[in-house]
Chains A and B, each alone.
Chain A
Amino acid sequence: MNHEIVFSKYYGESQTEGLDYYKKHDYGYNALLKAIEMGFEKVHQEVKDSGLRGRGGAGFPCGMKWGFIPKNTEKPIYLVINADESEPGTFKDRAIMAYQPHLMIEGAIISAMTIKAHMIYVYIRGEYVKEAKILDAAIEEAYKAGYLGKNVAGTGYQLDMVVHRGAGAYICGEETALLNSLEGKRGEPRIKPPFFPAAIGLFSCPTVVNNVETLACVPMIVSKGAEWFRSFGPEKNHGMKLFCISGHVNRPGLYERPMGYPLMKLIEEDCGGIWKGRKLKAAFPGGSSAPVLTAEECNVNLDFDSLAKAGSMLGSAGIMVIDDATCILKVAIRTAHFYQVESCGQCTPCREGSMWLKELHIRLEAGEGKVSDLDLIEDICNNMDGTTICAFGEATAWPLRSMVKKFRSEYEQHVVEKRCPFEG
């Protein structure tokens, strides 16, 4: 399996965030200069050819998304960087911004010039205070060095970049909620149609929203070519990828591996297996919004299509590992609680369903549930699935439904024994 460390070369070291360091150890804005030389139509083609798929969760082809921006529009075009990173178990964008902010900035500049945007907004998760400061400083360096401002790298192209800090809402990671929030409105997802960002995005203008990691892939694609990028990972799932592993493994952390890397290999070899000599019980492969995988199902490769085939998803690549001493209902309560408090509340099924699900799980875990509650949970999930404005409804329904389906006997045990079997 082709393997090359492209992101995490110097993660964990100190003072890697400056421009000088980036010039010495990384692309150093040479990719930008190359892109200017190539011409941006070619850059666009290269990104399309690379097969780069969005790293924000949905895995949408990046080059195709850029192509949706209407040609010859009179309105300004915006590039918005989704740095809201709030998916439980996810901390990859944070590392990019903390250790190599210029990689993201360089990628953003190339992308902005490709889609003809003159303004870049970075919407960063409110809790990432340190990272926001680092970004601000790095952007200032880029301005001083002439990569941003009135005359980008001597081309006469004007490009500005601003960091906007969120105010603590998971839902503002959903791209249209993010745009609302950026406009100063309530962070509520917009209805599509009519609000497809490429046509009616930020301030009703054509907008591309891309994840931090997606844009950080752009300089390397420009620099080393689509072919090189495609050399990693299986067909249609290319590139090196940052995987966040948390939970019950011996060495949790951030691992850079090629797309399609086997999950079990990551857990067993790279992370040193399950902690405390216990056994693997289950894992969320892509944040808490992904349907859970049982231990057997964990024999799967980490890429968009393999996980979709396995009935789950790569999502944000936030892998959360659960050992066999853990009550799955406690995991479900935690999950349901998260979605209850983070739902924006617009859609009836999401607003009411998330709360109802949490109450049912609390009751079941405490041994006060009924057997019929299990079917009820499944039915509530069915009624939320596909009936809401944004994917949050599914993000709630899918993992909770997967848990009750796959660990039904454990749920039933709680009912029959009228207590949690995991409590002494």
Chain B
Amino acid sequence: MAKVVIDGVDVEFEAGEKIIDVASKVNNHIPRYCYHEGLSIVAQCRMCLVEVEGQRKLVTACSTPCTDGMKVSTKSEKVKKAVSGVQEFLLVNHPLDCPICDQAGECSLQEYSYKHGQEDARTDFFRRTYIDVDMGPSIKKNMNRCIHCTRCIRYCDEVGQIHEMIAQQRGNDTEIVTIDGNPLQTAYAGGLADVCPVGSLTTKDFRFKKRVWYLRSKDTICDGCSQGCNISASFESNLIYRLEPRKNMDINKWWMCDEGRYGFHHVHSPSRVLGPLIKTSDSFESRLWGDLIPSVSALVQQAKNISVVVAADATLEEVAILKTHFSSANFYSYSPSVEKTSEDKAVDHLIRRKDKSPNLKGLEESGLRPFSELKSGSDLLIFFNAGKVRVPYGLAKLAKNAIAIGVAMKEDLNGWNYVLPSLSTYEKSGTFVNHTGMKQKFAAAIAPVGLSRPLNKILEALTKSDRKVG
């Protein structure tokens, strides 16, 4: 295999591979702003300049393909001087308002300033200023911080595939705008905040909510549709603040949609039922688990025929638990958007799917029948969900008695005898099967919220003599 020598280290490469990626293979991180693996190459920021033996001028590592025997230096004096020059140029007009910037702590400009910048500022002129601009429901722009890398423009063109962001004017007056100032149309606008290397484009959802160094994050799977995008959830004090995509070349590449990105707010919604409820004559009353279990248990035991409706945001493990516990019951799957996976399809060119639940495929493979086959009139209907699929309106009326286990909203209580709070996707571990049949395991990001309990603990309590929910 062909080899390049980067800072004295031999590295193998495949034809066409660029220096920047080949260097990454040996943990040699070449600084970059405009380059993004998932976007076309423009080599505009000039931050990735490296020296190639035999070439008079420095070349950009992001755009220069390796050739066999090429000798690259990423740390020569000439490179250091040029790179620190580029870094300085970027700061000539930068407001350096890190203390009030959401990107601070995960900002490329900050990071490279430490690594490649100069200690003192040599400029004392007024800086370019613009006012903040609203770019639609998802994104707010602070043009003062923009470093003109054009990742956002390419993201809209190439990922969102809507030509809606452009560079206006030229040179020093260049401003990144949406065409005619229109709100962004793309269903992937939130990704602009991911690709923007600085704090210029931020999501309104996360803006000013939390300094990122307080956040921890855990890998998980988006439960917003049957695609199963790989994501991470950032949280602090058991509160989730944001979701971000994780690279998975087989599923979502580097991206996720806005619906998925902002689709965690039910977890901490003030409407979420966070303690067990029992229906009274005219309302619902809260009970402690221990007080409620005997009557729930009795209701289950009296029922001659039971229907269990499992929302397709349940995990494979939960389906198995339900099937073991209610071994003689009839099981149905429920997704709000499709009846069966055969009706599922892509809804755009990228990743969004019609089936707005993450595990219908898994439920079908576990032998659950389609929801349309559910007949009314059973003694007891048990509904289980994780909150991404909402408790269906009117479902409780299909049986004499009805118990909802899972994540319910206060508006959804009508008709249920008992509402037993269980976990959202972020509070549990488990496995989803995405639309292509790929099994994806994930772990809990946060601990159970309120009095919510895992399904297995709730079901175990129903049969235990001490009636305790573990």
The chain A residues found within 8 Å of chain B, CB to CB, are: 169, 171, 186-187, 191, 193-194, 340-349, 351-356, 359, 376, 382-384, 386-389
Q: Residues of B contacting A351 with CB < 8 Å?
A: 89, 148, 171-172, 174
Give the residue among A345, A346, A348, A382 with the most B Cβ atoms within 10 A. Answer: A348
Q: Residues of A contacting B171 with CB < 8 Å?
A: 340-345, 351, 354-355
B65 (CB) vs chain A CBs: closest residue: A193
Flag B45-83 by CB within 8 Å of A: 1 or 0 each. 111010000001110100111000000000000000110
Contact present for A356 and B43 (CB under 8 Å):
no
Determine which of B57, B64, B92 lies in contact with A355 in the assembled complex, contact meaning CB atoms within 8 Å.
B92
Determine which of B42, B46, B58, B123 lies in contact with A348 in the assembled complex, contact meaning CB atoms within 8 Å.
B46
Contact present for A186 and B167 (CB under 8 Å):
yes
Q: Is B303 an interface residue (CB 8 A)?
A: no
Q: Is B136 an interface residue (CB 8 A)?
A: no
Q: Is B170 an interface residue (CB 8 A)?
A: yes
Determine which of A344, A356, A384 lies in contact with B170 in the assembled complex, contact meaning CB atoms within 8 Å.
A344
Contact present for B123 and A356 (CB under 8 Å):
yes
A270 CA / B63 CA spacing, docked (Å) = 49
What's the least CB distance linking B108 to chain A, in Å?
13
Determine which of A187, A354, A382, A387 lies in contact with B46 in the assembled complex, contact meaning CB atoms within 8 Å.
A387
Q: Residues of A contacting B45 with CB < 8 Å?
A: 347-348
Contact present for A387 and B42 (CB under 8 Å):
no
A344 (CB) vs chain B CBs: closest residue: B170
CB-contacts of B184-238 with A (<8 A) = none
A238 CA / B167 CA spacing, docked (Å) = 43
Flag B79-100 by CB within 8 Å of A: 1 or 0 each. 0011001101110110000000
A73 CA / B395 CA spacing, docked (Å) = 68
A351 CA / B175 CA spacing, docked (Å) = 12
- Given A191-B41, A191-B60, verify A348-B148 contact (CB < 8 Å): yes
Give the residue among A169, A171, A351 with the most B Cβ atoms within 10 A. Answer: A351
Q: Is B147 an interface residue (CB 8 A)?
A: yes
In this complex, the interface size class of chain B, counting residues with CB under 8 Å from chain A, is 35 or more
The chain B residues found within 8 Å of chain A, CB to CB, are: 41-47, 49, 56-58, 60, 63-65, 81-82, 85-86, 88-90, 92-93, 122-123, 125, 147-148, 150, 167, 170-174
Determine which of A171, A191, A347, A387 lies in contact with B58 in the assembled complex, contact meaning CB atoms within 8 Å.
A387
Contact present for B86 and A387 (CB under 8 Å):
yes
- Given A354-B172, A383-B81, verify A346-B44 contact (CB < 8 Å): yes
A341 CA / B169 CA spacing, docked (Å) = 10
A-B contact pairs, 9 of them (CB 8 A): A193-B65, A345-B148, A345-B167, A346-B42, A346-B44, A346-B150, A347-B45, A348-B148, A351-B148
Contact present for A343 and B172 (CB under 8 Å):
yes
Contact present for B148 and A383 (CB under 8 Å):
no
Determine which of B47, B64, B93, B167 lies in contact with A352 in the assembled complex, contact meaning CB atoms within 8 Å.
B93
A112 CA / B407 CA spacing, docked (Å) = 73
Q: Residues of B contacting A193 with CB < 8 Å?
A: 63-65
Q: Which 8 A-B pairs have the closest CB atoms?
A: A383-B85, A343-B171, A352-B89, A345-B171, A345-B174, A346-B44, A355-B172, A352-B92
Q: Residues of A contacting B60 with CB < 8 Å?
A: 191
What's the least CB distance linking A64 to chain B, in Å?
19
Q: Residues of A contacting B64 with CB < 8 Å?
A: 193
B41 (CB) vs chain A CBs: closest residue: A191
What's the least CB distance linking B64 to chain A, in Å?
7
A352 CA / B170 CA spacing, docked (Å) = 12
A419 CA / B296 CA spacing, docked (Å) = 92
Q: Residues of B contacting A389 with CB < 8 Å?
A: 43-44, 46
Q: Residues of A contacting B42 with CB < 8 Å?
A: 191, 346
Determine which of B56, B89, B167, B173 lies in contact with A383 in the assembled complex, contact meaning CB atoms within 8 Å.
B89
Determine which of B46, B63, B174 lies in contact with A388 in the assembled complex, contact meaning CB atoms within 8 Å.
B46
Q: Residues of B contacting A349 with CB < 8 Å?
A: 46, 85-86, 89
A61 CA / B118 CA spacing, docked (Å) = 42
What's the least CB distance linking B199 to chain A, in Å?
17
- Given A343-B171, A386-B57, verify A348-B125 contact (CB < 8 Å): no
Contact present for B63 and A191 (CB under 8 Å):
yes
What's the least CB distance linking B51 to chain A, in Å?
11
Q: Residues of A contacting B92 with CB < 8 Å?
A: 352, 355-356
Contact present for B65 and A387 (CB under 8 Å):
no
Contact present for B86 and A376 (CB under 8 Å):
no
What's the least CB distance linking A341 to chain B, in Å?
6
A387 CA / B44 CA spacing, docked (Å) = 10
